[in-house]
Structure 1
């Protein structure tokens, strides 16, 4: 692990230590050798000093080797190195205050006399942290119930201690940023251990990485993980390390889901979910909390989140598909490759077929999504057919008109295990994003869900007339050379007629004329559909038969 490490190099050591401790007897000798030094509290070669501030005890040295010694500079003359002063103030005045006083998270349990007293121990040593590691928290003793919670009965709460570096030279970001985001991230792990030592690791990392944004918006160190989500949206949000090694570290990118949830519910939802994690897996805890107190579900919020990651706007007109800092996220994502699309459909009247196994990357895991781009020259229909009907797939079409600040999410109609989206208002939208969402949270493997999509002509026979009071009479029908279109109950607004052939291709466009007579002599025989629109919105569909 080096200071130039990427996400997969585990710059945050806490989840690895948690997994190693849980599975110690199953580790190889090499793994046990690597982790053995992390199973005990750090010691110092130099003289150990301890400074207590608030609920914390900070352990450090100034006269040991360079990789464990803190810079002794003491500009304020309080006999405490400025580096330690700054770190202590960060923990006590900022992080502790935010997590416990403001948000109400339970304080981690005291560790008795370990470390010298019952205060929460932070060891400041680069040597103890290890090469390339920002910091870590180690769960130490299972105590069962955490006495710091008054209304809960924990069953496997743990005491813990933390290691921070003696300097962050060579790490990305200023020293203040590194100390800030590491303290926010790692102390959140200490809080999590105070609820349960068996919280899902992906969820621990999701919330710990979110806490960096919660505590220090604008530091943006966690932006480095965003492309794990936007570049690989079809990788499971709740993927655990080791399930698919090429995607290890994906859990860090999931912080944006926590950000979406807290923005559209409240920051206190994290506390409520932690409490439910005492007796349940994280995905179920999220779902139970949303159902019980927010009239929602993980399925609904995940769908909204998936759509929000396309919309990327803070305009309330797009609610609930918004982020407060959407422009910042969008800029970072665009500068690093953009959102990954599975396929692009260019429909102009001829059928297009997509197969996820042969035309896509064959990777739609549980709790993930596939995005598509679609261009069309007219109305169209999309039909999704799953290979395994029991997979929890949802097919939606995001329709966007940026000029009017309008979006619409059109769900599919389910007919005999097929999901069908029929678009008869093509001209009202500037572009389309079809999305396949997989909601399975019960699935424990990473096997992909497969499906096919057919893009074909719109089906006007299935379109119900709009409840608008406009009515249209057509005669003669069948017709050969002309058709009369008589408008009744005319409403104010711009009216337009569009005539489509049976393939969905636009054949004629007319603006209403006084004589109500329209030429069709140049059209081939067949069945056509007349679409009547007012101010760009479809209000009526009628069949016309041309026969000669």
Structure 2
């Protein structure tokens, strides 16, 4: 009974569950296992299970035995849990097979109002998955998850259908998807390749199964809606695993929540994750798995304002190219996907941070609009500080901490009639490899242009505030070798500096710079960031260690720019592994960076 009980809760991805977040890389597989055994979970449960799935075979024998007693299976390359074996009925619908029972603690309700021989509860789940399949595979053209027919004699899945098990889950859990093995792992030639993808060859696709509760009696909400959003969310994990089972947890959860919202936009179950996400804007969008649930809003912003829904599929198509087994390549994956739509990661992510500082559904918000913002559970992200001043003064703010891929929000209260203008000035930055954006947001409510916004991005800016009540300004940071950095700034009330008269985008840096490429080392694509402060041709070339020019890029665009090199020469031929030099040069400037290609 112990094994049976625990196999119900040893899972790889939970629909819901909150734990104090830390970086997964900070704990070893032995620590992750001990945290599960003693119940002291201070990382997201699914992240601990991912660590065990990867490195569980390295555990000492006594810890392995303890996990085996809790339902873990060490017989395959991926450490996982067993499938339930006590469900004696099944029904097939399309690519799906639904397993259930009418007896014992795992029984579903036997009610069968239409007398079709299938319990109404199971009928509801079958119908839900039929609808999900149409959107996922027909409308959005995702590849279906790999089949398990090659090893069903072991787990009795019974066919190449995708298996969904309906039984009594541990209290509090809605459902889960469990990865078991690499796709087609009956041959080293096909290991990790999803047989249903016709135009690509995967290396890390995985076979999974899915579990749903046999009832949701103890959960608040409408049972049919719970089944719908849970099924859409969890099954998308199975789809994701058909591309790359080792993709970063935050990205898997963010896009799975996006998918449930795409399927069932009227339910808005996803709003439960927004409050926590906006309460901690200083955490990176990719901070951890727990934050990933709320980070769905990042993808909602992009698909509502900047790109089609196809971006979500492109992200996972690109994930095939990056092996995130030991290193988190989720940001390079996202960069590459956005680049396919001629979008720059830094630009659209900073725009996302600006949109969060407005949270407006007004058409005047333009590309910063959230159509559903009036129903969000908050009005703004948590403010780092509200700034007031009763007299003309200069206020300094030192040692402000900011994490890469995150933002801080400040509000300056300008209601006092003594305010004429406001100066915001970013003074110091502690990292050459961190780029900062400073944006002010002024909403006009009572003047001649009501319900409109002025958005200005500049390192130093002066704003006329004589007819506005407040100014929100957003500071975001982007760096690829640094997690945290500090900056200082000053706020001046009623400066004699000439007022900024229009909206303009001014780069933070006024010097040429070639920043450290990321990721480095790399195995598929590498992003090269650089800054051009004036209108002058810039040559960026990649050389091998013998000095042979491999690839050349040219640019005359001002500001902070980026290019992605795909590891191919000027003729489109992949180059070999090894050290390469990225060289940026103008008539008056030269800088080089070393990069390492690993295959």
TM-score by length of 1: 0.73
Match of 1:408 among 434, 440, 454: 454
Per-residue deviation, residues 415-453 of structure 1 (Å, max 9, x unmatched): xxxx32222x2235442101111223x2474xx322222
- Which one has a bigger Cα radius of gyration? 1
Residue in 2 that maps onto 1:76: 114
> Within 2, Cα distance between the matches of 1:150 and 1:20?
32
Consecutive unaligned residues of structure 1, counting only runs of 5 or more, are 242-248, 413-418, 467-548
- Give matches, 1:268-417, under 5 Å: 268-280=310-322, 281-293=329-341, 295-329=342-376, 332-334=377-379, 339-347=381-389, 348-357=391-400, 362=401, 364-376=402-414, 377-390=419-432, 391-403=434-446, 404-412=450-458
Tell me if structure 2 keeps the 8 A contact 1:142–1:156: yes
Q: Is 1:232 the counterpart of 2:280 in the alignment? A: yes
Distance 1:90 1:224, change over 3 A: same
Distance 1:381 1:19, change over 3 A: same
Distance 1:6 1:55, change over 3 A: closer
Residue in 2 that maps onto 1:7: 18
Tell me if structure 2 keeps the 8 A contact 1:396–1:421: no
Deviation at 1:22, TM superposition (A): 1.4
Per-residue deviation, residues 111-132 of structure 1 (Å, max 9, x unmatched): 1152000000001112xx3332
> Within 2, Cα distance between the matches of 1:61 and 1:438?
53
Per-residue deviation, residues 441-481 of structure 1 (Å, max 9, x unmatched): x2474xx3222221125655555889xxxxxxxxxxxxxxx
Deviation at 1:259, TM superposition (A): 0.8
SS of 1:163's equivalent in the other structure is strand
Tell me if structure 2 keeps the 8 A contact 1:13–1:133: no
Distance 1:273 1:309, change over 3 A: same
SS of 1:450's equivalent in the other structure is strand
Distance 1:271 1:323, change over 3 A: same
Q: Is 1:212 the counterpart of 2:260 in the alignment? A: yes
Distance 1:316 1:371, change over 3 A: same
Tell me if structure 1 keeps the 8 A contact 2:462–2:497: no
Q: Is 1:51 the counterpart of 2:83 in the alignment? A: no
- Give matches, 1:467-546, under 5 Å: none
- Give matches, 1:139-218, under 5 Å: 139-143=179-183, 144-218=192-266
Residue in 2 that maps onto 1:105: 142
TM-score by length of 2: 0.67
Distance 1:375 1:315, change over 3 A: same
Per-residue deviation, residues 123-172 of structure 1 (Å, max 9, x unmatched): 1112xx33321111111221322121222221211111111111112123
SS of 1:152's equivalent in the other structure is coil
> Within 2, Cα distance between the matches of 1:231 and 1:465?
34
Distance 1:112 1:452, change over 3 A: same
> Within 1, Cα distance between the matches of 2:501 and 2:482?
45
> Within 2, Cα distance between the matches of 1:253 and 1:315?
23
Distance 1:393 1:35, change over 3 A: farther
Residue in 1 that maps onto 2:594: none
Residue in 1 that maps onto 2:297: 256
Q: Is 1:434 the counterpart of 2:455 in the alignment? A: no
Q: Aligned-pair RMSD on alpha carbons? A: 2.7
Q: Is 1:32 the counterpart of 2:64 in the alignment? A: no
> Within 2, Cα distance between the matches of 1:100 and 1:16?
31
> Within 2, Cα distance between the matches of 1:12 and 1:213?
22
